[in-house]
Structure 1
Amino acid sequence: MSVIDSHQHFWNLETGSYAWPTAEVEPIFRTFVPEELIPQLAAAGVDRTVLVQATDSYADTDAMLAQAQAHDFIAAVVGWVPLDRPGEAAEALERYGRHPKFAGVRHLIHNDPDPDWVIREPVIEGLGLLSAAGLPFDVVAVLPRHLEHVPVLAERVPGLRLVIDHLAKPPIKERGWEPWASLIARAAEHPNVYAKVSGLNTAADAETWTAEDLRPYVEHAIEVFGPERLMFGSDWPVALLAGDYAKVWKETGVLLAGLADADRDAVLGGTAARFYGIGA
């Protein structure tokens, strides 16, 4: 079985335009390219990755697809189309759909001043286009409000597969629990909703975190989703704000050590392969 990192990024500050990262997050306020990640994947034993958009633009999606074309380890690309402009989105999906590694769409909904952006009628229509094309949607759920929308989307666009990025950033550093635990359990009641065990280190104490800090949240996710709807992601290079690739990989291994082999294989690659249509 291939080990798949379901969530990583690249960005080029010389050639691209990004709202984030900014100088306030100095460790990652620089260009990141595939050549820097390759040895880290090899050291961890990760075979392939899913490259996820870093800004809502065609330019970013085009750059990611070019990187995927040049590097076999990039198995899939989660890009961007203007979901709130369904006519334009349809044209973009037809264009991007010709690329064999275009495998999903994300929109940085947490950057929109309207916390209900994702349930606007034009966006629902745009998500329907994704469903018709067999493409999934990555959900950025930073606010509880964003997580509340997931069951709504699952019901209004029933054929759409959804994946909640970073387990919706549970309040690990504060050792909080509600409303996160109830909201993610409610989302998991819908069989077309998945989640990524990713980005949790940056929700914890950056200096001291270990697997044990993350464990209650990951175990809750395993309980409500099951391993067959969870997938590992590094969130590299954002992960550098609280450790590095090696630490994220090591502590994830500690978290999953108690699972049966088949369940661990699902989280570490099998689920991502099914969700994003990644072949053997």
Structure 2
Amino acid sequence: MTEPSGRFDIVDAHHHLWVRARHPQPWIDPTTMAAIDADFTPVDLDRAARDAGVTQTVVVQSNSTEAETVELLGVAADSTLVRGVVGWADPTADDVADRLARLRAARGGHLLVGVRYSVQDEPDPTFLERPDVRRGIAAVGAAGLAFDLLVRQHQLGAASRVARDLPEVRFVLDHLGKPALGRAELGDWVRDLRALAASANTTAKLSGLVTEVDRSPWTSADLQPAVDHALDAFGPDRLMFGSDWPVCLLASSYDRWVGTLDGLLGGLGEDDRAAIWRHTARRVYRLGAS
């Protein structure tokens, strides 16, 4: 593809890898998610990402086990492309700090840059505000790691309050909190996104949007409101690009999402584009330059 304007040395801050025989992905429905009902390896990633101009990536957990995180750390240790791992840890565990130390002691442990827990699957919208969860998140921050927020729109309020109360933790919002694109609830998302962004210790990923559009085929116009509101709330210096590959394949190729986002950022200057394409991710996840 032709190199979009302002994009050089891209960092993909959000993708996955899985081999289901070792780490099952029970959330994948083989009927409705046939496009990703397969294994996705570092070789597959290398082909898709480098063709889009990506030079560094952050792989994010998709299986809620420490065993998967250990394997991803090993993948990163062997890769010139994957330079960071957002792994899994249970924030409700009494020994979160010890568990993180064990992950850091594993091969490639120095490439652990963050932790994610699937809050979106918790029925309690205030799960993040539980004392034990807050204690665990504080331990993640004390270990020098970011905490990725995998939340749905109705959980953004709790996320904003936790981020406000734990200013020492770097919070990264995945997929912009899954906005209700094209639906009436989008107004609530805008309100709660702004509340989260009011805390300076928060950043967000321009990722996962193509699978939130409630119609097919989607167009860039369907995504523009979410990107515009995110830019207004966070500013380019607190936003980062994420492909959400291979999940994005449910609605888009890797290359198409990169090109679409480039168009959606068309009104920005070169410095602002550079922040989103690489600088924010490197700063927040403490990645080295390629």
Task: Specify the TM-score bucket, using the shorter chain as the normaliser.
Answer: over 0.9
Q: Does 1:132 align with 2:142?
A: yes
Equivalent residues in 2 for 1:13-92 (5 A)? 13-23=20-30, 24-87=32-95, 89-92=96-99
Q: Does 1:3 align with 2:13?
A: no
Aligned 8 A contact 1:141 1:168 in 2: yes
Aligned 8 A contact 1:173 1:203 in 2: no
Gaps of 5+ in 1: none
Within 1, Cα distance between the matches of 2:165 and 2:251? 37
Q: CA RMSD, aligned part only?
A: 1.5
Q: Does 1:279 align with 2:256?
A: no
Q: Deviations over 1:151-182 (max 9, x none)?
A: 21112222011011001111114375210011
Aligned length: 278
Aligned to 1:169: 178
The runs of at least 4 consecutive aligned structure 1 residues that moved more than 4 Å come to none
C-alpha deviation, 1:66, in angstroms: 1.4
Equivalent residues in 2 for 1:222-233 (5 A)? 222-233=231-242
Q: Does 1:154 align with 2:167?
A: no
C-alpha deviation, 1:18, in angstroms: 2.8
* Cα distance change of structure 1 residues 176 and 126 upon mapping to structure 2, 3 Å threshold: closer
Q: Does 1:215 align with 2:247?
A: no
Please give the TM-score of this superposition, normalised by the length of structure 1: 0.95
Aligned 8 A contact 1:75 1:101 in 2: yes
Q: Does 1:190 align with 2:196?
A: no
Within 1, Cα distance between the matches of 2:16 and 2:60? 5
Overall identity of the aligned pairs, in %: 36
Task: Please give the secondary structure, in 2, of the residue aligned with 1:202.
Answer: coil
Aligned to 2:187: 178
Task: Write the letter of the residue equivalent to 1:54.
Answer: S
C-alpha deviation, 1:19, in angstroms: 3.1
Please give the TM-score of this superposition, normalised by the length of structure 2: 0.92
Within 2, Cα distance between the matches of 1:233 and 1:155? 24
Aligned to 1:95: 102
Aligned 8 A contact 1:55 1:108 in 2: no
Within 1, Cα distance between the matches of 2:206 and 2:185? 18
Between 246-255 and 116-125, the greater mean CA deviation after superposition: 116-125
Task: Write the letter of the residue equivalent to 2:22.
Answer: T
Between 191-200 and 135-144, the greater mean CA deviation after superposition: 135-144
Task: Please give the secondary structure, in 1, of the residue aligned with 2:33.
Answer: helix
Q: Deviations over 1:200-237 (max 9, x none)?
A: 00011553222221111101110110000000101000
Q: Deviations over 1:30-80 (max 9, x none)?
A: 211111121211211011111000021111111211111121100100001
Q: Does 1:104 align with 2:114?
A: yes
Task: Write the letter of the residue equivalent to 1:70.
Answer: D
Task: Please give the secondary structure, in 1, of the residue aligned with 2:23.
Answer: coil
